[in-house]
Amino acid sequence: MKSIGAVAFVSAVLVVAGMDSTPAEELSFDIVPYPQAINAIQGAGFVCTRDTVIRYHAETSRQPAEMLAAALRPATGFTLPVAKGGSIPAGILLTTENADAALGSEGYALRVTSDGIVVRAPNAAGLFYGGQTLRQLLPPEVFRKHQVGGTKWLIPAVEIRDQPRFPWRSFMLDVARNFKTKETVKMLLEQMAIHKMNRFHWHLTDDQGWRIEIKKYPKLTETGARRRDTQIGGWKTPKYTGEPHEGFYTQEDIREIVQFAADRHIMIIPEIGMPGHALAAIAAYPEFRCPEQGIPEVAYTYGKKPYVFNVADEKLYPFISTIIDEVVALFPGNVIHIGGDEVDHRHWKACAKISAMMAREKITTYSDVQVYFTNRLVEMIQKKNRRVMGWNEITGDLVHGSTEQRAERKLSKTAVVQFWKGSSDLLRSAITSGYDCVNSTHSSTYLDYTYGKISVKKAYDFNPIPRGLEVQHHAKVIGSGCQMWGEFIHDDARMEYRMFPRFCAYSEVGWTSPEQKDFEDFKRRLEESHLKRLDYQGIRYAKNVFMHEEHSAEEFADWVKIGEWTKPMMDKEYIFEWDASAVVKSAGRYEVALIFREGKHSLAPLWMELLEDGTPVSRDDHPGYAGNALRNNVYRFELKDFNAGSRYIIRMENCKSGGWKTLGDVRMRLIP
């Protein structure tokens, strides 16, 4: 029997099992992200039919009404009429009239009875989110892309009052390392909307590619959007695709995506990285490098590169200003991200112009050189009515173990700091110094990390407000982000595997108040409803992510060693195979364990299979981890029919960005 989420009924709630109502204990509202308050109310709920009218009052409420009608169309097959005016309810009404201002710019109140549905919100964004909640109150099949027959489209009688914990709920997509199509970007924007995220941080440029058309500087895409090869073997490994990689968005593409996002109340934050992570731009316009350096090409290996803009060259600033003008014309949001992370100082140190500028401006550290540069950009970009945002290195506080002092100059207080790396003291210092901060701590929010490093629970439990931060500073943490970095993400299936269901967890990090968060209930909502929604939308999420087994190496001492993984293997392959014929001698259930022996890196399997003469006969699909801990490192198989003449093989796929310095044993047994 389903249970009501433990936190749903903390306040006084009317839960009466009336004659034609669903018994209260069978009701559960499997909404993700979980709302601030849900009260089941007496009654049968509302059944949506092809005659249901979606009404709205003010003209500004028409768009969320039409978006709701469009969202319900594919699975229901209903083309629900959208009409202005009309009284309550006899259908679905979206209105800003008499809305409670305390709900804020994104909050909404929703009431469902057998007579109809009213969504009330001070703003269109709240009406849109109320519509998203309605979709999740319907049977999960409503997320199917094709018409579903025989379903009663019942929305249970309920009252919801909801608003986000944070105003900034971002998802970052790195399209610089590996280009993502317009269709993929739209699919992810749709997922953001379903999960009530409102800031799409678009990482458009980096050392490995420049992906946005700039009409005044065509070489940015002619040269910068193409590289001759791509590293694929994991960090520092010498394996390449052997093929060029290219792609960029035309300004027409970008306008289309900006509109698609705006329809979903998502602001796009374009990231144009500088002065580091700018090699693609420098390859296109090498006059902006430090002149002592050779002329580079667009990087085709990953990891940060030493090329940086020569910020002492006055010609650089009109170049940047022109680019920003085109960016401002494309993106209506009020924030422009300038990157600013991981600036390598080597080229600046060797540069006569930089040395002369430091003497002239009395700048003593290279961190100060970056603050000087960033402050000039803040000023330039403010004149264009936009705010600068950057990774936390823009504060001048070093996070890379450099021997240099932290900067003496102060970053302009109007800049938004996106914290990704460094001690919690560093984060606290940025917040209490008065910067608006977005908390994107890498060890808790990076979607490219393995499930061994960031489990769904770790993602869910992330609190953007650092522990011990005094209440008067809380509002300076404007929210949090989750980041899909794109190194080694060469296809959408792998991207979706890394993203989901952790993305769902991050939606509650940003939206749901700590009092309403409950990991066990989140897990239940996923397992009972939300994973179905993802399935129906064709999202290829990681399976069995809630498994939690910790093991120690001693447990496997008696198992038969069928092979090992070694550093040379890691250099070359993701798919590993070991001969299991020494163990597989009968039908039965088998276990294979991965036991880490030594090295800096872990093995992070995505799945494992038992093959009979090359054909998979049993498969275990879960993310595992064999490193300094052994977590979910046992894979289980069933062999129904044993064939004495056959060859049995164990095959697994390793997570592509797994490091290469790792060594371990593969052991197997027949379960007694």
Task: To the nearest 10°, report the CA torsion of 635, 640, 641, 645.
Answer: 0
Task: Compute CA distances 598 → 91, 461, 567, 626, whole Å.
Answer: 64, 30, 10, 10
Residue nearest to ligand ACM (CB): 341
> Cβ closer to ligand ACM: 172 or 456?
172
CB of 175 to ligand ACM, least distance (A): 15
Structure tokens at 76: 């229901």
Name which of 145, 239, 247 is nearest 205 in CA terms.
247
Q: Which is nearer to ligand ACM, 341 or 521 (CB)?
A: 341
Beta bridge partners of 270: 202
Neighbouring residues of 445: CB distance < 8 A, sequence distance ≥ 6: 439, 454, 459, 462, 480, 481, 482, 483, 506
Instruction: Tell me the site size for ligand ACM, rule CB under 6 A.
Output: 5
Residues 372-411 that bind ligand ACM (CB under 6 A): 391
Least distance between ligand ACM and beta carbon 255 (Å):
27
Binders in 464-483 for ligand ACM, by CB under 6 A: none
Residue of 128, 307, 420, 607 that binds ligand ACM (CB under 6 A): 420
Of 341 and 665, nearer to ligand ACM (C-beta) is 341
How far apart, in whole angstroms, are the C-alpha atoms of residue 395 and residue 371? 7
Told to check if 342 binds ligand ACM by CB under 6 A, we report yes
Residue nearer to ligand ACM on the CB measure, 110 or 438: 438
Is residue 307 within 8 Å of 282, Cβ to Cβ? yes
Residue 486 C-beta: closest distance to ligand ACM, Å: 11
Applying CB under 6 A, does 487 fall inside the site for ligand ACM? no
Please, what's the b/e burial string for 484-518 (b: 16 or more CB within 10 A of its CB; e: otherwise)? bbbbbbbebebbbbbbbbbbbbbbbbbbbbeebbb
Q: Shortest distance, CB of residue 366 to ligand ACM, whole angstroms?
A: 18
* 302 contacts ligand ACM (rule: CB under 6 A): no
With respect to ligand ACM, which residue has the nearer C-beta, 106 or 341? 341
Q: Is position 341 an interface residue for ligand ACM (rule: CB under 6 A)?
A: yes
CB of 487 to ligand ACM, least distance (A): 10
Q: Does 34 bind ligand ACM (CB under 6 A)?
A: no
Give the per-residue SS3 of 598-667: EECCCECEEEEEEEECCEEEEEECCCCEECCCEECCEEEEEECCCCCCCCEEEEEEECCCCCCCEEEEEE
CB of 339 or CB of 623, closer to ligand ACM: 339
Q: Which is nearer to ligand ACM, 445 or 529 (CB)?
A: 445
Q: To which H or E segment does residue 358 belong?
A: helix 352-361
Q: How does DSSP classify residue 103?
A: G
Q: Where are the beta strands (DSSP E) in 52-157?
A: 54-56, 82-84, 92-95, 108-113, 116-120, 154-155
CB of 389 to ligand ACM, least distance (A): 12
Q: Kindly state the smallest distance separating residue 340's Cβ from ligand ACM, in Å.
A: 9
The DSSP element (H or E) to which 282 belongs, if any, is helix 279-284
Q: Structure tokens of 218?
A: 């065509």
Q: How far is the CB of 574 from ligand ACM (least distance, A)?
A: 23
Q: How are beta strands 209-210 and 205-206 bridged, if at all?
A: antiparallel
Name the residue nearer to ligand ACM (CB basis): 91 or 422.
422
Please list every residue from 169 through 208 that binds ligand ACM, using CB under 6 A. Answer: none
What is the end-to-end Cα distance of the chain in Å, rounded? 34
Comparing CB distances to ligand ACM, the nearer of 273 and 510 is: 273
Question: Footprint of ligand ACM on residues 433-452 (CB under 6 A)?
Answer: 442
DSSP state of 399: -
Q: Give CA–CA dist 271/295, Å, rounded.
A: 24
Q: Are 276 and 176 spatial neighbours (Cβ–Cβ below 8 Å)?
A: no
CB nearer to ligand ACM: give 206 or 620.
206
> How far is 110 from 117, CA to CA, in rounded Å?
7
Smallest separation, CB 304 to ligand ACM (Å): 8
In terms of CB distance, is 342 or 612 closer to ligand ACM?
342
Q: What residues from 228 to 287 belong to the interface with ligand ACM (CB under 6 A)?
A: none
Provide the minimum distance between the beta carbon of 344 and ligand ACM in the complex, in angstroms, as a whole number. Answer: 12
Q: Which helix (H) or strand (E) holds 589?
A: strand 588-599
Report, in Å, the least distance between residue 531 CB and ligand ACM: 29
CB of 155 to ligand ACM, least distance (A): 42
**CB closer to ligand ACM out of 370 and 632:** 370
Return residues touching ligand ACM (CB under 6 A). Answer: 341-342, 391, 420, 442
